[in-house]
Structure formats: structure tokens, C-alpha cells
């Protein structure tokens, strides 16, 4: 075959996003197999947890290094291909030698140590290539501390540990690269990423965008408010704030710029709103599941603590956009040119059913694994059922969907018998899916739907790579902390400061989280900060969930805070503006993300947690109402301070006035609330009077 003919053949066999030729098709097949393995283990739990974790890491290394090899050329392709194969073989080690590893637990042989060193090295290599040097450098520092930390002066030192002890805990146990982070990645996280991938390809992004445009597109600053609403909605199904920036920002940032917003502000709004999706239930970037697993509490408890701060966060961004729009004199889009929110829901209402089922099951006490499996199963049934129902008359179409829904509802969570053999209900769902696959092979549009499903499986596996690799890598830190007890040393330091000033301890913890969180994805970010800083806050009397939420929120804020600001730099090429300038605007817009965690420590009722002097004095729910009201007023005052506009331009001393009133409402000092309310009311009255007085003059 000539080179031209070969190129044409490769182009014909090209799979979008995976590259041309055999290697591209092979990588796509590996990604689909990866997803199939995760679905199999989620549905039937046929393998020990340790084996699932190791094979999960093996697939991560195989797929990621394979993608790197496909993008490389010459000798580098051979190197990365070898790394991919070796990584997968290392992932099979625990499966092949499972019984032997149990029998010699704590006494690794030479082969265990050699494979362990290779596994850790490959995880580090994948981390550097996938997410940059920040997290690998932090992990390398911890690894060096485990090996040579006994040489440091007291109190930083620890007792000496042999090389085999370090490898044992990092590779052979469940505290290292196969620890809790990779357990959650191999179960909950992968499932929810796959769930989001199917919904996105089925049209959920378009639905969220159309609903947002219909609801707020015509209001003052409509394009920016669309960004806030659509990014918040996307956050309910998307596990990555940076991915959220790229997907919704590709539409919203150019729209904001076209209607008069500065590029830096447009990028800052999108970055802030997208990162807010990480604190918005039900998924919360999958951190909710890790937090529940770590703290040993129900998922609903985590969501209850997160819901009010999340709403306050998006209220802040919405208010900032409203004020900036007023300052610039920007109005909304022409209503006649906008889609109808109700019409969009009528056209794609069925896409909300899996999300509604997911939320219902999670709040009903079912495990995230079961809820995610049900949500994903319903999504696949809806996608596959579309081409079939389109060929039916209206009456039969309604009957088809009712019957499919009843069968799916009856199957999940039940066990039935076939020829005397007990089968789990999930088997019936898989049988329904197989039947729909067969029918789609014969109906018009069916093959395209099947291709969409395969692409969703492949894309879900690829989207899981950054989170999975980061979870494996952050296991190094967890293993070292368990081995050396370094977290206790840090906690003692923070607690010693907190005995003199709780506020100073909180500020130091905030700065620690902002530094540790720079350049690190949400999940490993939370795991690191909660492992190091969380215990210190707990010892200072901060409620358990509030202490973990505190470090989680400031880990999130690290993605908005310069100089690293991952979300801001992700928005930079779309906005065509400096990532640093976007980051500064994002910090300005995201006031609630910095303020609410501090408020929650002194008034846990803002996270719907009992505690604090106000709750003891007036009762829990009245205290919740007072605390939330204070927060809303403080947000309003802070917006006026940051934007410099409240119906008219504000002088510097007026902005200082509003800032002082907001600070008094946030501070937990005697009579500070009363002083803040009085100052805020006086400021509002002054602005109203000046605006009213200026109106006739302008006329």
C-alpha cells in the first residue's frame, strides 16, 4: 500500500480525540475496557478491594502512558509504550500474587520490593506528565522525609525506617498508592465521571446552557449571569472545576466579552463559578464521598453542611456580576433571541431523570456506589431507548417508556431467580441494555447512538486519568503521614498557636491550604490538607465536619489564587488575557469562599451544625436564620466595596465604610453584630438618599 493510501486508510479509521491508525484504535479499546472493568466491579464486586485498586492503577498507567506514546515519535514512543505495558503488569501484581502477599504481609521479598519501586516511580512519572510538577514535588519531599527525616533536628525528626518498610507501606498496604484515595477513585469517582460523560454527550450541557439563557440571559449583565448559572448546574455532574471552565467557558467567556465585560473579569467570573461547582451538592467534585468515607458519617450529613455555603458562594458571584454590570451600564441579551427555559426542559426533560434519581437515592441513605450505578444505568437506558421510541407511534412510545421505567425501577436493589439460580437485579438492567443494543443495530439512528455510548465509555476513562493519577500519587503523602506521624507534629504546632489566638491558627491553616493546594486537583487537594491541617482544627475545638470543610474550601480557593490559579489559567486562552489578571479578578469575585469558612468556625450553624454561643442562646433554627442573614448582608456590603458601585459610583471613603460594616458582621466579637448592622443600615440609607438626590439632577 502506498503512503498516500495508508494515510487515507488511517484517516478513515480515525477516532476523534484518540489519534489515527492502530494505536489510536487500541487506546480507545483500552479506555472502553477500563470502563467495562470498573462497571463490572461496581455492579458485582467480584474481586477483593486491594485487587480492584491495583488493577485500577494499572489501567490508569496503561492508558495514560499509551496516550503519551501516541503523541510522541521515534524512540520516545518506544519508551512510553514500554512504560504503559510495565505499568499495567505492575497493576496485575496484586491480583496474581494476592494470596502470597497476604501470607507474607509485613515481610516483603526482593520481588515485592523491586515491583514496588517500579510502581511508585511510574506513579511519580505519570504525575509529572499529567498534572505538572507541583504535586509530585510535594510527594517527593514527603518521601524523602520518610527515608531521611530521622536526620532532622527535633521536633521535626522521627525514628529511622528501613527502605523495605517504606516500600511496604507505599505499595503493599492500603495506606500508600493503593490507599483510601485510590479506593474512592476506583469506586465512586470513576462511576460519577462516567455518569457525567454520558449526560454531557446526551445533551446535558446544551440543556443547562439553554435553561440558563432563558432564565437570566435577558437580565442586567445577562451573559455573565448565564455563566454563573450554567457553571453551577454543570458542577452538579462534573467532578472537575478546570474541566468545567473549559466546557462552559468556551461559550460563556466570548459571550461576556462580546457584550462589554473586560476579558479579565469574564475569565474571573467563569473560573469562580466553575470552581464553585466543586462545593455544590450532590457530587461536590466527588469530595463529598471521600469526606464521608474519611469521617465515617453518612453522605447526607456532608451535603447538609455544604448546601448553605454553596448557595452563599453563588449568590456572591451573582451579586458581583450584577454590580459590575450596573457600573459598566451593561444590560441583558434581547429576550426574543433567547431560548425558552421551559421549552428547553420540555425538549430534554428526560435527561434530568437520572440526576433526580441520583439525588433521591443519595438523600434516601443508599450508598454512593449504588446511587451512581442506578444513575448511570438509567442514563444508558434513556440514551439507548431514544432511537427505538422515535420509530413508534405516540401511544406506543409512551407505553415503551413507562414499561422501561417500571422494569428498571423494579430491577435495581432486587434479587430474582432464573431456573432456580439467584440473580441480582442489576443483571436484569444489563439484559435490558443488551436488548436495546441489539435493537439499535437495526433501527435508523441506532448505530450512531451506540457509537455515542462507546465514545462516552472511552471519554469517561480518559477524563478519569487526572483524578486517578493524582489519587495514586497523593497516597504517598498519606502513607508517609501514617508511617511517621508527621501530621501530629504539625497539629501540635497549630494547637500551640491556637491556645493564644484561634483566629491566628485559622489564618495559618488557610495559608497552609492555599500553598499545599496550588496546582493540585480538588480531590488530592482535600486529602492532603485534611490529613495535615484537619486534626489541628479538631483539637482546637472546631466541630469535625466544619474543620474538614474549612480546609476543603481553602484548597478549592487555591485554584483561584495567584500565582498558580489553575482555573484562572484554564480560562486564560479562552479569554485571551493573562492568567494572573484573571486570578486577581477571581479572588475579588469569590469573597464568600474566603469568608464563609471563618464564619462557620465561630458560628457552625451556617453549615447547619449545632454549636456556638448564638445557638445556645436562641435555639438552633433561629441561630441559622440570623447567621445566614448576617452572611447575606455582609456579601451585599462586600460587593459594593469590591466593585465600587451601588446604584451609582462610590467614593473611596464610602467603600471603606461598607467594608467596615461587612467586617463587623463577620467578626465574632462582643457587640460586633449590632455595630455591623447599624453601620450597614446607615450605609444603605446614605446610598439610597444620594442616589435619589442625584436622579433629578441627572434628569
Last residue of a domain, one of 178, 210, 236: 178
pLDDT value at residue 9: 43
Q: Give the per-residue pLDDT at 238.
A: 64
Q: Based on the structure, what is the number of domains in the chain? A: 2
pLDDT tens for 548-579 read 999 888 888 888 888 767 788 888 888 888 88
Q: What is the mean pLDDT of residues 83-96?
A: 94
Distance CA 177, CA 485 (A): 18
Structural domain of residue 656, as residue ranges?
618-699
Cell numbers linked to 691: 442616589
Last residue of a domain, one of 178, 211, 244: 178
Q: Is 40 exposed, middle or buried (0-12, 13-18, 19+ CB in 10 A)?
A: middle
Q: What is the 3-state secondary structure (H, E, C) of 522-566?
A: HHHHHHHHHHHCHHHHHHCCCCHHHHHHHHHHHHHHCCCCCCCCH
Is residue 71 in some structural domain?
yes
Residue 94 or residue 566, greater confidence: 94
Please report whether residue 688 resides in a domain: yes
Q: What are phi and psi of 420, to 5 degrees?
A: 85, -5
pLDDT at 52: 94
* pLDDT tens digits for range 674-689: 999 999 999 999 999 9
Percent of the chain with pLDDT over 70: 92
Query: Does position 493 have pLDDT exceeding 80, yes or no?
Result: no
**Whether the predicted pLDDT of 445 surpasses 90:** no
pLDDT at 158: 83
Distance CA 597, CA 602 (A): 9
Residue 4: the pLDDT is 45
Higher pLDDT, 371 or 212: 212
Q: Quick check: is 554 in a domain?
A: no
Taking only the tens place, the pLDDT of each residue in 382-429 is 888 888 888 888 788 888 888 877 777 766 655 555 555 555 567 777
Q: Does a structural domain hold residue 696?
A: yes
| Residue 524 falls inside a structural domain | no
Q: What is the pLDDT of residue 117?
A: 94
- Residue 418 has phi, psi (to 5 degrees) of -125, 110
pLDDT at position 630: 92
Q: Are 196 and 239 in contact (CB under 8 A)?
A: yes
Looking at per-residue pLDDT, the higher value among 194 and 699 belongs to 194
Tens of pLDDT, residue by residue over 119-175, are: 999 999 999 998 778 778 888 998 999 999 888 887 778 888 889 899 999 998 888
Q: What is the DSSP string of 227-285?
A: HHHHHHHHHTT-S-HHHHHHHHHHHHHHHHHHTT--HHHHHHHHHHHHHHGGGSTTTGG
Task: Provide the 8-state DSSP code for 170.
Answer: I
Cα 638 to Cα 500, 558, 588: the distances in Å are 29, 21, 10
Cell triple for residue 638? 462586600
| The predicted structure's pLDDT at residue 659 | 93
Helix axes 222-235, 299-328, angle to 10 degrees: 170
- Provide the pLDDT for residue 2: 46
pLDDT digits (tens, 9 = 90+) for 214-273: 888 888 888 888 888 887 777 766 656 777 787 778 888 888 888 888 999 999 999 898
Most confident of 38-42, 146-150, 344-348, 682-686: 682-686
Burial annotation 142-165 (CB, 10 A radius, 16+ → b, else e):
bbebbeebeeeeeeeebeebeebe
Average pLDDT over residues 336-356: 85
Query: Mean pLDDT across the chain, nearest whole number?
Result: 83
**Confidence band of 188 (pLDDT split at 50, 70, 90):** confident
pLDDT at residue 17 greater than cutoff 80 = no
Query: Of 178, 209, 238, at which residue does a domain stop?
Result: 178
Whether residue 130 is contained in a domain is answered as yes
Split at pLDDT 50, 70, 90, the class of 367 is: confident
CA angle 279, 285, 287 (to 5 degrees): 85
Is the distance from CB of 523 to CB of 473 less than 8 angstroms?
no
Question: For position 12, what pLDDT does the model report?
Answer: 40
Phi-psi category of residue 519: left, alpha or beta, with phi > 0 → left and psi -120 to 50 → alpha: left
**Residue 172 gets which letter from DSSP?**
I
Q: What is the pLDDT of residues 505-539, one digit of tens each?
A: 888 888 888 877 766 777 777 887 787 777 878 88
DSSP structure string for 138-164: HHHHHHHHHHHGGGSPTTT------HH
Average pLDDT (472-480) is 87
**pLDDT exceeds 50 at position 3:** no
pLDDT of residue 56: 96
Structural domain contains residue 205: no
Please give the Cα distance from 50 to 179 (Å, whole number).
9
Task: Decide if 48 is inside a domain.
Answer: yes
Amino acid at each position: 500500500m502506498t503512503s498516500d493510501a495508508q494515510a487515507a486508510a488511517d484517516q478513515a479509521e480515525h477516532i476523534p480525540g484518540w489519534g489515527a491508525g492502530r494505536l489510536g484504535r487500541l487506546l480507545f479499546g483500552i479506555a472502553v475496557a477500563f470502563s467495562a472493568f470498573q462497571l463490572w466491579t461496581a455492579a458485582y464486586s467480584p474481586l477483593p478491594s486491594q485487587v480492584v485498586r491495583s488493577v485500577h492503577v494499572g489501567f490508569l498507567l496503561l492508558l495514560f502512558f499509551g496516550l503519551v506514546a501516541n503523541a510522541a515519535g521515534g524512540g520516545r514512543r518506544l519508551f512510553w509504550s514500554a512504560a504503559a505495558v510495565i505499568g499495567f503488569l505492575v497493576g496485575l501484581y496484586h491480583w496474581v500474587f494476592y494470596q502470597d502477599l497476604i501470607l507474607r504481609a509485613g515481610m516483603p521479598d526482593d520481588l515485592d520490593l523491586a515491583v514496588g519501586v517500579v510502581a511508585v516511580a511510574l506513579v511519580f512519572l505519570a504525575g509529572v506528565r499529567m498534572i505538572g510538577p507541583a504535586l509530585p514535588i510535594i510527594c517527593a519531599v514527603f518521601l524523602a522525609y520518610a527515608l531521611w527525616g530521622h536526620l532532622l533536628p527535633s521536633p521535626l525528626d522521627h525514628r529511622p525506617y528501613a527502605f523495605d518498610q517504606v516500600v511496604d507501606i507505599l505499595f503493599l498496604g492500603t495506606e500508600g498508592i493503593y490507599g483510601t484515595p485510590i479506593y474512592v477513585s476506583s469506586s465512586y469517582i470513576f462511576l460519577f465521571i462516567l455518569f457525567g460523560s454520558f449526560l454531557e454527550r446526551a445533551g446535558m450541557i446544551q440543556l443547562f446552557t439553554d435553561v440558563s439563557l432563558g432564565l437570566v440571559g435577558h437580565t442586567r449583565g445577562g451573559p455573565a449571569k448565564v455563566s454563573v448559572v450554567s457553571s453551577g448546574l454543570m458542577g452538579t455532574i462534573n467532578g472537575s472545576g478546570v474541566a468545567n471552565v473549559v466546557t462552559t467557558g468556551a461559550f460563556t467567556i466570548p459571550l461576556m466579552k462580546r457584550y462589554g465585560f473586560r476579558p479579565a473579569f469574564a475569565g474571573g467570573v467563569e473560573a469562580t463559578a466553575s470552581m464553585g461547582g466543586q462545593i455544590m451538592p450532590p457530587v461536590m467534585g466527588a469530595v463529598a464521598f471521600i469526606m464521608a468515607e474519611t469521617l465515617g458519617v453518612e453522605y447526607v450529613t456532608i451535603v447538609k453542611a455544604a448546601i448553605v455555603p454553596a448557595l452563599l458562594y453563588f449568590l456572591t458571584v451573582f451579586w458581583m456580576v450584577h454590580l459590575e454590570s450596573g457600573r459598566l451600564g451593561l444590560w441583558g441579551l434581547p429576550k426574543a433571541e433567547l431560548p425558552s427555559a421551559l421549552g428547553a426542559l420540555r425538549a430534554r426533560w428526560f435527561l434530568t431523570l437520572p440526576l433526580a434519581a441520583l439525588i433521591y437515592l443519595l438523600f434516601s441513605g443508599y450508598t454512593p456506589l449504588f446511587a451512581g450505578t442506578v444513575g448511570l444505568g438509567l442514563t444508558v437506558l434513556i440514551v439507548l431507548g431514544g432511537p427505538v421510541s422515535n420509530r413508534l407511534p405516540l401511544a406506543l412510545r409512551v407505553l415503551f417508556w413507562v414499561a422501561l421505567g417500571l422494569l428498571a425501577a423494579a430491577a435495581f436493589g432486587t434479587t430474582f431467580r432464573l431456573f432456580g439460580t439467584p440473580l441480582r437485579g442489576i443483571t436484569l438492567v444489563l439484559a435490558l441494555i443488551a436488548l436495546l443494543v441489539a435493537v439499535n443495530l437495526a433501527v435508523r439512528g441506532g448505530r450512531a447512538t451506540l457509537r455515542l455510548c462507546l465514545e462516552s465509555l472511552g471519554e469517561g476513562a480518559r477524563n478519569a486519568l487526572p483524578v486517578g493519577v493524582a489519587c495514586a500519587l497523593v497516597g504517598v503523602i498519606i502513607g508517609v503521614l501514617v508511617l511517621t506521624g508527621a501530621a501530629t507534629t504539625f497539629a501540635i504546632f497549630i494547637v500551640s498557636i491556637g491556645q493564644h489566638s484561634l483566629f491566628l491558627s485559622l489564618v495559618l491553616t488557610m495559608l497552609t491550604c492555599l500553598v499545599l493546594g496550588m496546582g493540585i486537583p480538588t480531590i488530592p487537594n482535600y486529602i492532603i490538607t485534611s490529613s495535615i491541617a484537619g486534626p489541628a482544627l479538631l483539637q482546637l475545638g472546631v466541630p469535625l465536619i466544619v474543620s474538614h470543610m474549612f480546609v476543603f474550601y481553602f484548597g478549592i480557593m487555591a485554584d483561584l489564587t495567584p500565582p498558580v490559579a489553575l482555573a484562572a489559567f484554564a480560562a486564560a486562552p479562552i479569554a485571551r488575557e493573562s492568567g494572573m489578571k484573571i486570578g486577581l479578578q477571581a479572588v475579588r469575585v469569590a469573597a464568600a469562599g474566603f469568608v464563609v469558612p471563618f464564619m462557620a468556625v465561630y458560628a457552625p450553624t451556617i453549615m447547619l451544625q449545632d454549636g456556638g454561643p448564638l445557638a445556645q442562646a436562641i435555639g438552633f433554627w433561629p441561630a441559622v436564620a440570623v447567621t445566614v442573614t448576617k452572611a447575606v448582608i455582609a456579601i451585599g456590603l462586600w460587593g459594593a466595596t469590591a466593585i465600587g458601585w451601588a446604584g451609582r459610583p462610590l467614593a473611596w471613603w464610602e467603600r471603606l465604610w461598607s467594608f467596615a460594616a461587612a467586617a463587623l458582621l463577620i467578626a465574632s466579637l462582643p457587640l460586633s453584630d449590632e455595630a455591623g448592622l447599624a453601620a450597614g443600615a446607615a450605609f444603605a440609607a446614605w446610598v439610597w438618599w444620594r442616589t435619589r438626590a442625584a436622579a433629578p439632577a441627572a434628569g
